[in-house]
Amino acid sequence: MSDTAVARAAVVQAAGDAKADSKSEQAYAFIKARIVEGTYSPGYRLVLAKIAGDVGFSVVPVREAIRRLEAEGLVKFERNVGATVSGIDPTEYLYTMQTLSVVEGAATALSAPLIDATAIARARAVNEEMRQCLEHFDPVRFTALNRDFHSVLFEHCPNPHILDLVHRGWNRLATLRSSTFRFVPGRARESVREHEELLQLIERNADAETIERAARRHRSATLDAYLAQAPGTPKKISNSQEEKQ
Protein backbone atom coordinates (compact mmCIF):
# COMPACT_ATOMS: atom_id res chain seq x y z
CA MET A 1 0.00 0.00 0.00
CA SER A 2 2.72 2.43 0.91
CA ASP A 3 4.21 0.81 -2.12
CA THR A 4 1.48 2.44 -4.11
CA ALA A 5 2.24 5.82 -2.65
CA VAL A 6 5.88 5.55 -3.56
CA ALA A 7 4.91 4.43 -7.02
CA ARG A 8 2.68 7.41 -7.61
CA ALA A 9 5.30 9.77 -6.33
CA ALA A 10 7.82 8.35 -8.76
CA VAL A 11 5.38 8.73 -11.58
CA VAL A 12 4.60 12.29 -10.70
CA GLN A 13 8.27 13.07 -10.58
CA ALA A 14 8.90 11.38 -13.88
CA ALA A 15 6.05 13.33 -15.40
CA GLY A 16 7.52 16.54 -14.10
CA ASP A 17 10.85 15.80 -15.67
CA ALA A 18 9.61 15.54 -19.20
CA LYS A 19 6.61 17.80 -19.52
CA ALA A 20 3.62 15.64 -20.36
CA ASP A 21 4.77 12.20 -21.29
CA SER A 22 2.15 9.72 -22.29
CA LYS A 23 1.03 7.36 -19.60
CA SER A 24 2.63 4.51 -21.40
CA GLU A 25 5.88 6.44 -21.25
CA GLN A 26 5.47 7.09 -17.57
CA ALA A 27 4.71 3.46 -16.90
CA TYR A 28 7.81 2.52 -18.85
CA ALA A 29 10.02 4.85 -16.88
CA PHE A 30 8.42 3.72 -13.65
CA ILE A 31 8.92 0.02 -14.18
CA LYS A 32 12.35 0.40 -15.69
CA ALA A 33 13.55 2.50 -12.80
CA ARG A 34 12.41 -0.12 -10.34
CA ILE A 35 14.07 -2.91 -12.25
CA VAL A 36 17.37 -1.10 -12.61
CA GLU A 37 17.32 0.07 -9.03
CA GLY A 38 16.44 -3.40 -7.81
CA THR A 39 13.00 -2.98 -6.29
CA TYR A 40 11.73 -5.41 -8.86
CA SER A 41 14.44 -8.02 -8.71
CA PRO A 42 14.95 -10.83 -11.22
CA GLY A 43 12.12 -13.29 -11.20
CA TYR A 44 9.66 -10.71 -9.92
CA ARG A 45 6.28 -11.35 -11.43
CA LEU A 46 4.90 -8.35 -13.29
CA VAL A 47 1.15 -8.75 -13.26
CA LEU A 48 -0.48 -6.24 -15.54
CA ALA A 49 -3.49 -5.52 -13.41
CA LYS A 50 -1.44 -5.17 -10.26
CA ILE A 51 1.04 -2.73 -11.73
CA ALA A 52 -1.76 -0.85 -13.40
CA GLY A 53 -3.26 -0.40 -9.97
CA ASP A 54 0.06 0.73 -8.54
CA VAL A 55 0.67 3.44 -11.08
CA GLY A 56 -2.99 4.39 -11.30
CA PHE A 57 -3.38 3.75 -15.02
CA SER A 58 -5.27 1.09 -16.86
CA VAL A 59 -3.56 -2.03 -18.12
CA VAL A 60 -3.08 -0.89 -21.69
CA PRO A 61 -0.22 1.58 -21.18
CA VAL A 62 1.33 -0.79 -18.70
CA ARG A 63 1.22 -3.59 -21.19
CA GLU A 64 2.90 -1.43 -23.79
CA ALA A 65 5.59 -0.44 -21.34
CA ILE A 66 6.29 -4.05 -20.52
CA ARG A 67 6.59 -4.98 -24.15
CA ARG A 68 9.14 -2.23 -24.62
CA LEU A 69 11.10 -3.49 -21.66
CA GLU A 70 10.96 -6.94 -23.16
CA ALA A 71 12.53 -5.63 -26.36
CA GLU A 72 15.39 -4.28 -24.28
CA GLY A 73 15.84 -7.58 -22.52
CA LEU A 74 14.93 -6.36 -19.07
CA VAL A 75 11.73 -8.36 -18.95
CA LYS A 76 10.81 -11.79 -20.12
CA PHE A 77 7.35 -12.10 -21.50
CA GLU A 78 5.45 -15.29 -22.10
CA ARG A 79 2.28 -15.33 -24.05
CA ASN A 80 -0.86 -15.94 -22.03
CA VAL A 81 1.26 -16.37 -18.98
CA GLY A 82 2.78 -13.10 -17.97
CA ALA A 83 5.92 -11.11 -17.54
CA THR A 84 8.77 -11.50 -15.12
CA VAL A 85 11.87 -9.45 -14.54
CA SER A 86 14.45 -11.30 -16.51
CA GLY A 87 17.15 -12.73 -14.42
CA ILE A 88 20.45 -13.30 -16.07
CA ASP A 89 21.86 -16.79 -16.17
CA PRO A 90 25.51 -17.51 -16.94
CA THR A 91 24.82 -17.85 -20.65
CA GLU A 92 22.91 -14.60 -20.82
CA TYR A 93 25.65 -12.95 -18.84
CA LEU A 94 28.18 -14.15 -21.35
CA TYR A 95 26.14 -12.93 -24.31
CA THR A 96 25.55 -9.56 -22.72
CA MET A 97 29.14 -9.00 -21.70
CA GLN A 98 30.44 -10.05 -25.06
CA THR A 99 28.03 -7.78 -26.90
CA LEU A 100 28.84 -4.96 -24.57
CA SER A 101 32.55 -5.44 -25.07
CA VAL A 102 32.00 -4.91 -28.77
CA VAL A 103 29.67 -1.94 -28.72
CA GLU A 104 31.27 -0.26 -25.74
CA GLY A 105 34.67 -0.58 -27.33
CA ALA A 106 33.39 1.09 -30.46
CA ALA A 107 31.54 3.78 -28.51
CA THR A 108 34.59 4.62 -26.45
CA ALA A 109 36.81 4.82 -29.51
CA LEU A 110 34.35 7.10 -31.28
CA SER A 111 33.99 9.27 -28.21
CA ALA A 112 37.66 9.58 -27.44
CA PRO A 113 38.52 12.47 -29.75
CA LEU A 114 35.65 14.48 -28.30
CA ILE A 115 36.58 14.13 -24.66
CA ASP A 116 38.12 17.29 -23.25
CA ALA A 117 40.57 17.71 -20.39
CA THR A 118 37.82 18.63 -17.92
CA ALA A 119 36.01 15.39 -18.55
CA ILE A 120 39.21 13.44 -18.19
CA ALA A 121 39.87 15.08 -14.86
CA ARG A 122 36.36 14.24 -13.76
CA ALA A 123 36.78 10.61 -14.78
CA ARG A 124 40.08 10.43 -12.98
CA ALA A 125 38.49 11.73 -9.81
CA VAL A 126 35.79 9.10 -10.08
CA ASN A 127 38.39 6.41 -10.57
CA GLU A 128 40.28 7.60 -7.53
CA GLU A 129 37.12 7.34 -5.50
CA MET A 130 36.67 3.83 -6.81
CA ARG A 131 40.09 2.97 -5.54
CA GLN A 132 39.08 4.17 -2.11
CA CYS A 133 35.92 2.10 -2.26
CA LEU A 134 38.13 -0.92 -2.70
CA GLU A 135 39.82 -0.22 0.59
CA HIS A 136 36.63 0.51 2.46
CA PHE A 137 34.85 -2.47 0.95
CA ASP A 138 31.97 -0.57 -0.54
CA PRO A 139 31.01 -2.62 -3.58
CA VAL A 140 27.67 -0.89 -4.08
CA ARG A 141 29.23 2.51 -4.45
CA PHE A 142 32.02 0.97 -6.50
CA THR A 143 29.52 -0.31 -9.01
CA ALA A 144 27.75 3.02 -9.25
CA LEU A 145 31.01 4.86 -9.75
CA ASN A 146 32.07 2.36 -12.37
CA ARG A 147 29.09 3.28 -14.47
CA ASP A 148 29.81 6.96 -13.94
CA PHE A 149 33.35 6.47 -15.07
CA HIS A 150 32.47 4.72 -18.26
CA SER A 151 29.69 7.17 -18.96
CA VAL A 152 32.27 9.88 -19.22
CA LEU A 153 34.17 7.79 -21.71
CA PHE A 154 31.35 6.95 -24.06
CA GLU A 155 28.75 9.65 -23.51
CA HIS A 156 30.15 11.76 -26.33
CA CYS A 157 29.80 8.97 -28.84
CA PRO A 158 28.53 10.71 -31.96
CA ASN A 159 26.59 7.67 -33.10
CA PRO A 160 23.34 7.49 -31.15
CA HIS A 161 22.60 3.95 -32.28
CA ILE A 162 25.78 2.63 -30.79
CA LEU A 163 25.33 4.70 -27.68
CA ASP A 164 21.87 3.26 -27.22
CA LEU A 165 23.20 -0.27 -27.46
CA VAL A 166 25.74 0.51 -24.78
CA HIS A 167 23.08 1.82 -22.45
CA ARG A 168 20.97 -1.25 -23.01
CA GLY A 169 23.85 -3.48 -22.10
CA TRP A 170 24.53 -1.57 -18.91
CA ASN A 171 20.90 -1.70 -17.94
CA ARG A 172 20.80 -5.42 -18.42
CA LEU A 173 23.85 -5.82 -16.25
CA ALA A 174 22.28 -3.56 -13.67
CA THR A 175 19.68 -6.24 -12.99
CA LEU A 176 22.47 -8.40 -11.66
CA ARG A 177 23.19 -6.07 -8.79
CA SER A 178 25.15 -7.90 -6.17
CA SER A 179 24.80 -11.33 -7.66
CA THR A 180 27.58 -13.86 -7.90
CA PHE A 181 28.64 -12.54 -11.29
CA ARG A 182 29.99 -9.33 -10.08
CA PHE A 183 33.10 -8.86 -8.00
CA VAL A 184 35.34 -11.62 -9.04
CA PRO A 185 38.10 -11.49 -6.45
CA GLY A 186 40.96 -9.27 -7.49
CA ARG A 187 39.32 -8.13 -10.68
CA ALA A 188 38.18 -4.82 -9.23
CA ARG A 189 41.69 -3.73 -8.46
CA GLU A 190 42.86 -4.50 -11.97
CA SER A 191 39.86 -2.67 -13.25
CA VAL A 192 40.88 0.56 -11.57
CA ARG A 193 44.32 0.26 -13.07
CA GLU A 194 42.95 -0.31 -16.55
CA HIS A 195 40.79 2.76 -16.16
CA GLU A 196 43.86 4.86 -15.67
CA GLU A 197 45.45 3.30 -18.72
CA LEU A 198 42.41 4.10 -20.77
CA LEU A 199 42.51 7.70 -19.64
CA GLN A 200 46.14 7.98 -20.63
CA LEU A 201 45.45 6.58 -24.08
CA ILE A 202 42.72 9.15 -24.58
CA GLU A 203 44.88 11.99 -23.31
CA ARG A 204 47.62 10.99 -25.71
CA ASN A 205 45.14 10.92 -28.60
CA ALA A 206 45.94 7.32 -29.29
CA ASP A 207 44.46 6.05 -32.51
CA ALA A 208 40.95 4.72 -32.54
CA GLU A 209 41.92 1.11 -32.95
CA THR A 210 44.16 1.13 -29.91
CA ILE A 211 41.50 2.70 -27.75
CA GLU A 212 38.85 0.34 -29.01
CA ARG A 213 41.03 -2.64 -28.27
CA ALA A 214 41.78 -1.41 -24.76
CA ALA A 215 38.16 -0.66 -23.97
CA ARG A 216 37.01 -3.98 -25.31
CA ARG A 217 39.65 -5.87 -23.45
CA HIS A 218 38.79 -4.05 -20.25
CA ARG A 219 35.35 -5.59 -20.39
CA SER A 220 36.15 -8.99 -21.78
CA ALA A 221 38.77 -9.39 -19.08
CA THR A 222 35.99 -9.15 -16.51
CA LEU A 223 34.08 -11.80 -18.40
CA ASP A 224 37.14 -14.01 -18.61
CA ALA A 225 37.75 -13.61 -14.89
CA TYR A 226 34.25 -14.81 -14.24
CA LEU A 227 34.54 -17.73 -16.62
CA ALA A 228 37.82 -18.78 -15.01
CA GLN A 229 36.30 -19.07 -11.55
CA ALA A 230 32.81 -20.16 -12.58
CA PRO A 231 31.79 -23.67 -11.61
CA GLY A 232 29.68 -24.80 -14.57
CA THR A 233 31.12 -22.71 -17.33
CA PRO A 234 28.80 -22.51 -20.29
CA LYS A 235 29.95 -23.51 -23.73
CA LYS A 236 33.15 -21.74 -24.48
CA ILE A 237 32.49 -19.06 -27.02
CA SER A 238 34.53 -16.31 -25.50
CA ASN A 239 37.17 -16.08 -28.14
CA SER A 240 37.68 -12.53 -27.12
CA GLN A 241 39.55 -10.86 -29.87
CA GLU A 242 42.58 -9.68 -28.07
CA GLU A 243 43.28 -12.92 -26.32
CA LYS A 244 45.16 -14.15 -29.31
CA GLN A 245 47.76 -11.52 -29.76
Partner DNA sequence: ATGTACGAAATCGTATACGATGATTATGGC
Partner DNA sequence: GCCATAATCATCGTATACGATTTCGTACAT
Q: Write out the residues near a copy of itself by the rule CB under 8 A.
A: 22, 60, 64, 67-68, 71, 73, 79, 94-96, 98-99, 102-103, 106, 109-110, 113, 158-162, 165, 207-209, 212, 235, 237, 239, 241-242, 244-245
Nearer to a copy of itself, 126 or 223 (CB): 223
CA dihedral in degrees (180, 181, 182, 184; nearest 10)? Answer: 90
β-bridge partners, 77: 83
Binding-site partner at residue 58 among a copy of itself, DNA, none, CB < 5 to 8 Å by type: DNA
CA pseudo-torsion sign 64, 69, 165, 95: negative
Q: How far is the CB of 24 from DNA (least distance, A)?
A: 4
Q: Which residues contact 18 (CB under 8 A, 6 or more apart)?
A: 25
Q: How far is the CB of 70 from DNA (least distance, A)?
A: 11
Question: What string of H, E and C letters represents the secondary structure of 163-230?
Answer: HHHHHHHHHHHHCCCCCCCCCCCCHHHHHHHHHHHHHHHHHCCCCHHHHHHHHHHHHHHHHHHHHHHC
- 3-state DSSP assignment of residue 76: strand
Q: How far is the CB of 189 from a copy of itself (least distance, A)?
A: 27
Binding-site partner at residue 95 among DNA, a copy of itself, none, CB < 5 to 8 Å by type: a copy of itself
Site string for DNA, 10-39 (x = CB under 7 A): ----------x-xxx---------------
Q: Under the rule (CB under 7 A), what is the footprint of DNA?
A: 20, 22-24, 45-50, 57-61, 63-64, 79-83
